[in-house]
Amino acid sequence: MRVFSFGHGPKTLTLPTLRVGALPLPLAGEGMKGHAHFMTTERKAPEYWLTDMDGVLVREDHALPGAAEFIARLIEKERPFLVLTNNSIFTPRDLAARLARSGLTVPESAIWTSALATADFLKLQKPRGSAFVIGEAGLTTALHEIGYTLTDHEADYVVVGETRTLSFSAITTAIRLVAAGARFIATNPDVTSPSPEGPLPATGSVAAMIAKATGAQPYFIGKPNPMMFRSAMNRIEARSEATVMIGDRMDTDVVAGIEAGLETILVLSGSTRAEQVARFPYRPSRILDSIADVVALI
């Protein structure tokens, strides 16, 4: 039996091997009182699949073991699925090409970014509106595709996404537009994004500069806002009770999945480590070592 330990000292809670198959898996919210409870019946395999990208399928441009089999199985079984990322720099086409280089064949139509979720939100809120954008092609393309006009004059919205080309004049324009009444939206709250050389300032940091200067707080669309999952589910016409979300972070993937009413799977191949799980006031439906262990659930 493989044992994961949760908690500290004498209160340490152990869970049995979290494998799929005959052995029942622990339920979210249970087993936290010092003794473990386990499911007595197996769940039905989810029909609809959402998965995070970084830390689940890829890490630093390399596919993680089992990721290719996972995607292939979803396609073979004709399960509707989307690969989600909070990164708003790239278009789905760019990301599909990047994934292909890392060894994963994911159709462009199966990629859902915080930029697409933001465009989806704006399309519902104010069809054919206007926006001043600080961001890259992933965001500007998404907004063009929903019929938005990009402008620096009397914009309905200031929309901030991840960028690698921040300019002082763009920040100045954003601040003046927000002060003049433009609604303030940001694709995702992440303050840094990882790179091989170290962290890079990300959307949340740029949005914070505008927030500080104006006193206005942005509305963040990406994870952990479950809005991101709701729009993804709309895209694949998924029902929440038959949908699972796979992620490597408790404070984004898992909490947003729970808030959206989804089954959740935490994989330990990325950000959250097994010993950190017990610190959170919520638990995923399942904890698995990696995406390789998810393949058998499809």
Interaction site with Mg ion (CB under 5 A)? 52, 54-55, 248
Closest distance of CB 199 from Mg ion, Å: 15
- CA geometry: angle 292, 293, 297, nearest 5 deg: 115
Q: Please give the angle made by the CA atoms of 297, 68 and 242, to the nearest 5 degrees.
A: 35
**Nearer to Mg ion among residue 10 and residue 196 (C-beta):** 196
CB nearer to Mg ion: pick between 251 and 259: 251
Task: Give me the phi and psi of 168, to 5 degrees please.
Answer: -65, -40
CB of 228 to Mg ion, least distance (A): 13
Nearest alpha-carbon partner for 208 in 234, 227, 190: 190
What is 233-294 written as a DSSP string? Answer: HHHTT--GGGEEEEES-IIIIIHHHHHTT-EEEEETTSSS-GGGGGGSSS--SEEESSGGGT
Min dist CB 266 to Mg ion, Å, is 11
CB nearer to Mg ion: pick between 134 and 294: 294
- Please, which residue, 156 or 248, has the CB nearer to Mg ion? 248
Paired residues of 83 in beta bridges: 51, 111
Q: With contact defined as beta carbons under 8 Å apart, do 23 and 17 qualify?
A: yes
Q: How far is the CB of 55 from Mg ion (least distance, A)?
A: 4
Q: Catalytic site residues? A: 52, 54
**Token pair for residue 268?**
């330990």
